Amino acid sequence: FTIDPRPYQAVLDQTKAQAALDEVTLKRQQDLRARKVVAQQDYDIALANAQKSKAATEAAQLNFDYCFIKSPINGRIGLRNVDVGNLVGPSSSALVTIQGLDPIYTDFTVAENDLPLVRKYLGGSNVKVETYLADGSIAPRVGDLYFIDYAVQPGSGTVKARGVTPNPDRALWPSEFVLVRFILETLKDATLVPAQAVQISQGGPFVFVVKSDNSVELRPVNPGQRQQGDLTVIESGVKRDETVVVTGQLALAPGAKIAPQPYAPQAPAAPDRTAASKSGMSYE
């Protein structure tokens, strides 16, 4: 945008001319002062006038530069609110709105019940914010945690948080609903089983483990965080390469013989966008 610069250009030219005159006067006074043929007061006045003219020129140059309005950020520009010839001023509405797209902020919330876990890992090098769309049209994008609020919201029992997500192809747009995974720690060589393999009894969580003779063993387990998709971390109770029963547990008892069949997980249905935006939060 450009504001009519002609009045400000005239003021700038006037101050530059006055500054040039005052500089010549000051130089003349300096020469006379060196020969001691001028009063000290005359020299002081010439010096003050030169300094005032310099300051006035800088102010006029600043006002002239403000006639050319440039965006301080890169991004996507919206519909302009003014046309050529409109009057604008400090009380006017915004000329246009520009949205920065790369990087882009991802705003989400953390449940109050999860705050102890978040505080445990907050500030660690593994804390990341993973953002992706509900329809899976773009690959998940991993960014950094930029901000987490200092208070729990009274009505919702959640804490506001914000991540900074790289968006070089501008696939994510402002105010768009997304899914977020708040990664607190990365577990190396973790043991994962299908989530439905973990059953609950009065004694706690357990799985049926298939032994070498195709009999099943009821094995208490300590399940960890559920992961994206149909997998759950098992912190203890199951070893690598052991086979667990995924379906049909209600018909089993310890020691029962089975005919194991490979498990074919069902493809999850595409989530509703609104539901995803409300519950698009998981922790790793």
Residues 17 and 36 both lie in one domain = yes
Residue whose structure tokens are 């991004």: 75
Residues 169 and 108 both lie in one domain = yes
For the domain that residue 118 is a member of, what is the CATH number?
2.40.30.170
Residues 60/8, Cβ–Cβ less than 8 Å? yes
Residues 208/218, Cβ–Cβ less than 8 Å? yes
**34 occurs within a structural domain:** yes
**235 occurs within a structural domain:** yes
**pLDDT in 10s for each residue of the chain, 284 residues:** 788 899 999 999 999 999 999 999 999 888 888 888 888 888 899 999 999 999 999 999 999 998 888 888 777 777 788 888 777 777 878 888 888 888 888 889 888 888 888 888 787 778 888 888 888 788 888 888 888 888 888 888 888 989 888 888 888 888 888 888 888 877 777 888 888 888 888 888 998 888 888 888 898 988 887 776 678 888 888 888 888 888 888 888 888 888 888 887 665 544 443 333 322 333 33
Residue 63 CB contacts under 8 Å (≥ 6 apart), including other chains:
8, 11, 12
Looking at residue 266, its pLDDT comes to: 61
**273 occurs within a structural domain:** no
**124 occurs within a structural domain:** yes
**159 occurs within a structural domain:** yes
Q: Name the region of 36 (left: φ>0; alpha: ψ -120 to 50; beta: rest).
A: left
The residue segments making up the domain with residue 141 are 101-183
User: Which pair of structure tokens corresponds to residue 124?
Assistant: 């660690």
Helix (H, G, I), strand (E, B) or coil at 158: strand
**252 occurs within a structural domain:** yes
Q: Which amino acid is at 103?
A: P
Total number of domains in the chain: 3
d(CA 172, CA 103): 10
d(CA 1, CA 147): 34
Residues 177 and 106 both lie in one domain = yes
Among 107, 111, 125, CA closest to 180: 107
d(CA 7, CA 70): 20
Residues 142 and 177 both lie in one domain = yes
For the domain that residue 59 is a member of, what is the CATH number?
1.10.287.470
**205 occurs within a structural domain:** yes
Residues 149 and 210 both lie in one domain = no
For the domain that residue 233 is a member of, what is the CATH number?
2.40.420.20
pTM attached to this predicted model: 0.56
